[in-house]
Amino acid sequence: MTDAIDYQEIFREIVSGFTDADDRGDVAAYIPELGKIDPRKLGIHLTTVEQIHYSFGDSDEKFSIQSIAKVLSLTLALKILGKDIWTRVGVEPSGSAFNSLVQLEYEKGIPRNPFINAGAIVVCDILVSCLTDPKVELLEFIRETSGIPTIDYCSTVAESEKRMGFRNIALVNFMKDFGNIHNDADLVLDLYFHLCSIEMSCKEIVQAFLFLAADGINPVTKTTVINSQRSKRINSLMQMCGFYDEAGEFAFRVGLPGKSGVGGGIVAVHPGKFCIAVWSPKLNENGNSHKGMKVLEEVTTKTKFSIF
């Protein structure tokens, strides 16, 4: 059982203690639709494995979850392909930018991990190979395993990403040259851009990710999303690779597996206890939510709950 802690009061304490210095950063304006988001938004939601809910601020407002969704596409690919996925993508921290071409050339088209752009594109290629209608079936998987039938893509964001996706176009073609993309590049990128455009609220993200706190079973739907061993593997990957160039810093300061997105969202998991999501659109220099990182650091400091 999760210890009786008043997370609601902890959230209030954390937010009331913010200063002007805690409001640094910029929204991800390089994706035009994300540049329109109100930078003052702040949402927090935590759900325990016993399904006790705590929320603060804009926790029910949907936003573009971006790279957070890469965990869900990986989960589906693991269910379908199992360990064979690791012949196409690695499990190591990248140590370089999330959209780097340099590292990809050095490693002959095999991305370091499934959470950098190249790795997530390979996962999308796997789904295109394995599914009859990848966009529809991926969305169905997320809706069914989360128990939230209203989760959807945002076509406006997907189109915005497509218009500005020159680096991702380069990545997919670069990997195709190395033989690590098996399908039409445009088809793979279409799935990738739609994956990143998925919209959820903090509360919905937590419900969709709660299986990672409960050995692969979503306590809300009682659905076995993935087996316990693979749930452990996904948590390990989030711990090592979930925050671009800042994964080590997040592990050091927060001490939980997690995944961020340039929409300003962060999800973090304490296996056996809870899942928490934070949304604040202003990003630091590494592409992670500045205020979101601060909230999660304060939560684990005040509760003394981390995996270490």
Q: What is the pLDDT of residues 259-304, one digit of tens each?
A: 999 999 999 999 999 999 999 999 999 999 999 999 999 999 999 8
Amino acid at 275: C
In a domain, 1, yes or no: no
H helix or E strand, kind and range, residue 295: helix 290-303
Q: Terminus-to-terminus CA distance in the chain, angstroms? A: 18
Amino acid at 19: T
The token duo for 192 is 């990738």
pLDDT value, residue 96: 63
Mean pLDDT (the chain) is 93
Catalytic (active-site) positions: 67, 70, 192, 244, 262
> At which residue do the structure tokens 């950098």 appear?
116
Using pLDDT thresholds of 50, 70 and 90, give the confidence band for residue 104.
Answer: confident
Between CA 168 and CA 171 the distance in angstroms is 5
Tallying the residues shown for the chain, one arrives at 308
DSSP 150: T
Helix 185-197 with 166-177: angle, nearest 10 deg: 140
Q: How many other C-beta atoms lie within 10 A of the C-beta of residue 7?
A: 23
**Which residues, 6 or more positions from 178, have their beta carbon under 8 angstroms from its beta carbon?**
108, 109, 110
In a domain, 24, yes or no: yes
In a domain, 53, yes or no: yes
The token duo for 183 is 């399908």
In a domain, 267, yes or no: yes
Strand 258-260 relative to strand 223-224, pairing: unpaired
Report in angstroms the alpha-carbon separations of 78 from 32, 71, 143, 174.
32, 10, 17, 24
In a domain, 42, yes or no: yes
Q: How many independent structural domains does the chain possess?
A: 1
The token duo for 18 is 């913010």
In a domain, 206, yes or no: yes
> At which residue do the structure tokens 């809870």 appear?
274
Q: What is the mean pLDDT of residues 161-166?
A: 90
State the CATH number of the domain containing residue 159: 3.40.710.10
Using pLDDT thresholds of 50, 70 and 90, give the confidence band for residue 307.
Answer: confident
In a domain, 191, yes or no: yes
Q: Which of 76-90, 92-106, 169-183, 218-232 has the lowest mean pLDDT?
A: 92-106
Task: Give the range of the structural domain holding residue 182, as residue numbers without chain letter.
Answer: 7-303
Nearest 5°: the CA angle 20, 296, 151 is 105
Q: What is the mean pLDDT of residues 236-259?
A: 94
DSSP SS3 for 264: coil
In a domain, 308, yes or no: no
